[in-house]
Chains A and B, each alone.
Chain A
Amino acid sequence: MKEVKCDCGHVNPIGTILCESCGKVLEEKEKDKKLLDMRYEGSARRSQTYNKTIIDKIWNFFSSVKVGVWLIVITLIASAIGTILPQEMYIPPIMPAEEYYEDQYGWIGKLYYDLGFHNLYSSWWYLILIASIGISLVICSLDRVVPLYRALKKQRVSRHESYLKRQRVFGASQAEDTDQAFAMAKEKLKSKKYSIREEDGNILAEKGRFSRWGPYVNHVGLIIFLIGGMLRFVPGMYVDKILWIREGETKVIPETNGEYYLKNDGFILEMYDKEKDKEVFEEAIDKAGMVAKNYQSNVTLYKKKGDTVAGEEAELEKVKDYEIKVNKPLRFERFALYQVDYKLNELNKMSFALTNKKTGEEYGDLTVDLNDPQDVYDLGNGYKAEVVSYFPDFEFDENGEPITKSRVPNNPAFVFKMFTPDKPDGEISFVAIRQTIEPFGDNEYKMAFKGIDTKNVSALTVRKDLTLWIFALGGVIFMVGVAQGSYWNHRRIWLRRVNGEVWVAGHTNKNWHGLKREIEAALDGTGIKVPEDQLQNQSEKKG
């Protein structure tokens, strides 16, 4: 590799624009400029130096901030498009998405669906955009941070005249007593928390260099964050299940390998009450009608004790009681259970009496647990009812046959076979809510409806997310980096003696107003003239 040796004796890597050590301009085309381009300290960036192989070309493409900004802008526009209509996950499940969009939003909805915008954020092209931003982050950062680090580490105190002269803040003047003026300025700069380096009687005052690493630190944070997103796709890292659990029911918690069980001790729904709650809410409650106050499931968490053979009832050990509310999930091991939904008054039990239709005489009651019906209910004295078929969510299909839509007892129906001493072969009766069908002609007995018993059901989201700490780490690093880069400035002030004159130059990565004020304060009383802002002078001459 060819290297560039500067007049000062420092050997710079190829492609260097400003000597890392003394700051002399090495690049021919930079020499005519009135002010130096101080970005990345004029260091040799790979992307600006090589452009031969395919790897160079890819590197150069992704290392360009222009490309990065385009990627950001395209992602921004794409994200905005995704909010025009609701995404598929937010539409009510009343009909298939394909019909829903056209039905609700007309041809715009159809177009939106056809273009795949209903699932925009998980579309392949959106993911490619995000991935490209990730690649751009890595390459952009590497391309700049390494040479920048070198340049700032190798910098000398006595910078080349051509370097100082072409700083934005620069001034040359005579001082009566240079030594004294320098000593005074040094003290003042020290009190402003500058670290001072001296060489041949020249001064470099520098502070806040670490703010230059802010952008790279926050990019590392973002990359870690994106890696967290990728890990979501690894099986076992992320669990998203829903657990519907009735009051009184004990269920195994999914994805816990049968280790944990949950019992629902009761679901509570509370509404705000004008009488009981704060008076100030009265007007709002009047206006809204009903305002929900609390959704709560009281649960008991159990852990399985020892090993059990399949089919054997597990022996459970109570872990704890907990009230799961919105904003107050139940956490155990790496799981969290969230209150997300509920159903009030789901049918739970139905009671019937085996009755003689003519006399109305009853031969015993039976209660069917709609979630776990028995096969036969023996009423004694030779009376019994057999459940031949059970349809928890009954309707007739197109052939007129009874079917069940789901396993949830929304509309239970039974086919009973009633055995009595005088009808030992049994009578068949089809019993649903408010209807009884006797398919084989007139029966002598019927299952008379006695009553129902309802229960509330809680819906809990079962969540395990082993990637969370990665997102948290990425987020923290990002915030540190962004604060580091935003709230601190890297400021340098050079004081150099040149042929009996005092040259002062200043540079900052941002907030020039602050730098100028500090220089002004540092030079006050030293007799050294306050340097001028050459950029401002330029623009004022133009304007």
Chain B
Amino acid sequence: MVTISSNLLYTAFILYLIATVFFAGSIKDKNRTKKGPNRWAAIGLWISIIGFAAQLGYFITRWIAAGHAPVSNLFEFTTFFGMSLVGAFIVIYLIYKTPILGVFTLPVAVLMIAYASMFPREVSPLIPALQSDWLHIHVTTAAVGQAILAVSFAAGLIYLVKSVDQTKQSKQRFWLEAIMFGLVCTLGFIIISSSFSAAGYKAEFNWIDKNGQEAVLEYHMPALTGPNEGQLTTEGKFEPLAEMPAIINAKKLNTVIWSLASGIILYLALRLILRKRIGAALQPLAKNINLDLVDEIGYRSVLIGFPVFTLGALIFAMIWAQIAWTRFWGWDPKEVWALITFLFYAAYLHLRLSKGWHGEKSAWLAVIGFIIIMFNLVAVNLVIAGLHSYAG
């Protein structure tokens, strides 16, 4: 069952990639005779739907195998997020029929699923706090809400790619490229960690933690930054270039450095091939799209996603917290970041409705909103420890 499940996920992953190509092709297609999406886009849509169905199959089979909804650790949650993003894309696409949305949304979903697979993938049993029906009610609703909000990020990105002037130096041009670089770094992280894991790299260290205790740490990438008073115990592996004090998590820092480095190399390679900024290279894809329509897609996604997010990430969360943790609100970092997300999109809506922040300003806000969501997903689980740290 678990094998079938993983194969279905793999299938979905490949199909999303293929669908992206078709959506991109539909924009490049010069034989546009009639108005509306062409054949390429129609094929792209069907492939996305089949991919989504495959991933739904992964979800259901894994649920059956584990006996609980597969949203209980970082791998499962992030994968589900990716699936919801594709689902949200399909729904929004059916309303607005804009192939370019696929070109931007599907790769984000693909990155997300690939990123998810860097975490432990085994089916894990539920600790007592998670043994509740609210696990799938709360987590899935929250993830779907975030995914719909993420569509507004894709729309914002399209808006910016089209509207930001690539010929003049400007803050906008710089930050748009910075976002592209961020996405490339995620790809870098995925490539570098899957390469080392395919090569089976393992190096053990004895080290002294911040409480002065001896401990063992296993690296899966060559250690550039070694742990405090670390002694490499696996023979023939790379000796650290620098030793970190105990307060800094040397292993995570090491991963960050590797990801950044591979991101930079990848980015430079792309620049060499494209001979222009990534933003500029993507610009032709957006040339036929109407800015107002993209703006509206972004706004609409926030309007649809915000209530779902509030329901899942705050209201259902509070109900469950009252049952499991005796209080509905406890200022746990994950809770606080859900509140921050809520406040941020509330500000987005107010700025838009009353201050007339449409178009480019709105697009930038959508991008920042997505960064906040990603921060809550990645950093709050991995860096800031709290009650929600089920990352393992």
Contact = CB atoms under 8 A, between A and B. Distances in A.
Interface of A: 39, 65-66, 68-69, 72-73, 75-76, 79-80, 82-84, 86-87, 89-90, 104-106, 121, 240, 272, 277-278, 280-281, 283-285, 287-288, 291-295, 325-327, 329, 336, 338, 340, 461, 463, 468, 471, 475, 478-479, 482-483, 486-487, 510-513, 533, 535-536, 539, 543
Interface stretch (B27-35, B171-179, B292-300): B292-300
Contacts of B134: 327
Contacts of B332: 90
Nearest to A291: B125
Interface stretch (B153-161, B252-260, B349-357): B349-357
Contacts of B300: 511
B346 interface: yes
B291 A479 contact: no
B64 to A, nearest CB: 10
B66 A280 contact: yes
B167 to A, nearest CB: 15
Contact of A284 (B122, B343, B355): B122
A79 B310 contact: no
30 contacts: A39-B353, A66-B355, A69-B347, A69-B355, A72-B347, A72-B350, A73-B343, A73-B347, A76-B340, A79-B343, A82-B336, A89-B330, A106-B247, A240-B327, A281-B66, A284-B120, A284-B124, A287-B392, A291-B127, A293-B128, A325-B131, A326-B129, A326-B324, A327-B131, A327-B323, A475-B315, A486-B307, A510-B303, A511-B300, A513-B293
A66 B300 CA distance: 22
Given A287-B122, A327-B131, A513 B343 contact: no
**Category for how many chain B residues contact A:** 35 or more
B125 to A, nearest CB: 4
B387 to A, nearest CB: 8
Nearest to B375: A80
A292 B128 contact: yes
B269 interface: no
B344 interface: yes
Given A76-B347, A539-B292, 8 more contacts: A72-B350, A285-B125, A287-B122, A327-B132, A327-B324, A461-B326, A511-B303, A513-B96
A287 B293 CA distance: 50
Contacts of B65: 280
Contacts of B291: 539, 543
Contacts of A475: 315, 318
Interface residues of chain A: helix, strand, loop or mixed (majority): helix
Contact of A486 (B304, B328, B337, B355): B304
B306 interface: yes
Given A65-B354, A475-B315, A536-B292, A295 B333 contact: no
Contacts of B303: 486-487, 510-511
Contacts of A533: 292
A533 B292 CA distance: 11
A287 B304 CA distance: 41
Task: Give the 9 A-B CB pairs with smallest separation, nearest first.
Answer: A284-B124, A65-B354, A326-B128, A283-B122, A83-B333, A327-B132, A280-B123, A281-B125, A76-B343
Contacts of B354: 39, 65-66
Contacts of A65: 350, 353-355
A94 B139 CA distance: 34
